[in-house]
Amino acid sequence: MGLFLNKTLRFSLFLATFLLTSCGGGTSATEDTVSPIISPPTPSNTEPICSDSGYARTLFCSMKRKNLDREFYVYIPDGIDDLSSVPLLFGLHGYTSRAVWFMGYSDFQSIADSEKFIVIYPQGSILISTGQTHWNVGGWTNDSTTDDVDFMSYLIDWSEDNFNINTDRVYSTGMSNGGYMSFHLACNLSHKIAAIASVTGSMTRETYNSCNPIHSTSIMQIHGDADTVVPYYGNWFSRSIPSVMEYWEEYNNCQTSSITSLPDNNNDGDVGSFYLYNQCITDVQAQLYLMTNMGHEWPRYNNNNDINAAEVIWNFFKQYDINGRINE
């Protein structure tokens, strides 16, 4: 009863006011007052919109996350629709680089075709202080405000909703800054990342000091002893590669280690070294490929290197899920 009375009262007041103002009462204005048009707020997050990228079996997707425009490519090999689930691999470009460039030279697509896994190549955002693309990992990116861990976490959830991925088999690899970001994910998105591989990257001091994984984690590092961009023995923003390997050796409680020479596949006389940290919790491993006279590059056979990075990385990843070694 009271509710209907209130509605009637409000309508009566509205009608009286309307009649009064229509007759010029209550104001001396002779022009209508126009209320400003208020645009709805722009959403801080939007769902990805995907379209054909122009590259074979590859989607280009754009979205907004935390008020930032984000982009990524998704490579979907043939023949996965009939599989119950497939692994997901993130391929992360380096500082100043582009996702599409990394997609071109890393060469994971051909392996994904035969091994049946989806590859996502995310695009890093612009670091305002330098105007360059980056992943926020501390160190030289320390003034970044981009939440890349949140972005990657969202992409995993989105992939689970849209593809038949195995969430126990999500991996990350990358070149340089992308390698740093892969370590950052192993430390700060551990509950969603099974294993990582870094090529010419490392751990910044911020990542190293705040690292908080929740499960034993297989990690691989590929590095050249002639790398002057990310020196093997570290610099002001980067931990040395030996200290990074020691961290994961101790965290994974590895009991044995060994060093062997790599085969000189390109016959140039430079023989690299393979460091293996073994007998770890849940049978994970830490591996280091130390390449003699190699600089800041992604090793491939057609670049006259002794290893093909994509090949050794996937052969490493496919042995592990988030619970450790896969027992098949």
Look at residue 9 and tell me whether its pLDDT is greater than 70. no
Query: Quick one: pLDDT band at residue 27, thresholds 50, 70, 90?
Result: very low
Mapping DSSP to helix (H, G, I), strand (E, B) and coil, where does residue 284 land?
coil
Look at residue 38 and tell me whether its pLDDT is greater than 80. no
Alpha helices, DSSP H, located in the chain: 2-22, 99-106, 109-115, 148-162, 177-188, 205-210, 241-251, 309-317
Look at residue 2 and tell me whether its pLDDT is greater than 80. no
What is the reported pLDDT for 302?
80
Look at residue 291 and tell me whether its pLDDT is greater than 80. yes
Tens digit of each residue's pLDDT (9 = 90 or more) over 301-323? 888 899 999 999 999 999 999 99
Look at residue 6 and tell me whether its pLDDT is greater than 90. no
Tens digit of each residue's pLDDT (9 = 90 or more) over 164-208? 999 999 999 999 999 999 999 999 999 999 999 999 999 999 999
Instruction: Choose between 163 and 39: higher pLDDT.
Output: 163
Percent of the chain's residues with pLDDT above 70: 87
What is the reported pLDDT for 303?
81
Query: Which residues have CB under 8 Å from 59's CB, separation 6+?
Result: 50, 51, 52, 53, 73, 74, 76
Tens digit of each residue's pLDDT (9 = 90 or more) over 113-169? 999 999 999 999 999 999 999 999 999 999 999 999 999 999 999 999 999 999 999
Instruction: Give dist(CA 118, CA 101) in Å, integer.
Output: 18
What are the percentages of helix, strand and coil residues in the chain, rounded to 5?
30, 25, 40
What is the reported pLDDT for 33?
54
> What is each CA distance from 238 to 200, 231, 269, 298, in whole angstroms?
12, 8, 30, 19
Instruction: Choose between 16 and 252: higher pLDDT.
Output: 252
Least confident of 33-47, 97-111, 204-218: 33-47
Query: Quick one: pLDDT band at residue 39, thresholds 50, 70, 90?
Result: low
- Class of the CATH-defined domain 46-325: alpha beta
Query: Quick one: pLDDT band at residue 34, thresholds 50, 70, 90?
Result: low
Instruction: Choose between 153 and 35: higher pLDDT.
Output: 153
Mean pLDDT of the chain: 90
Mean pLDDT of 86-97: 99
What is the reported pLDDT for 18?
37
What is the reported pLDDT for 82?
87
What is the reported pLDDT for 118?
99
Look at residue 14 and tell me whether its pLDDT is greater than 90. no
Look at residue 28 and tell me whether its pLDDT is greater than 50. no
What is the reported pLDDT for 153?
99
What is the reported pLDDT for 35?
58
Candidates 162, 218, 209; CA nearest to 190 is 218
Domain residue ranges in the chain = 46-325
Q: To the nearest 10°, the Cα dihedral for 42, 44, 46, 49? A: 80
Mean pLDDT of 70-90: 96
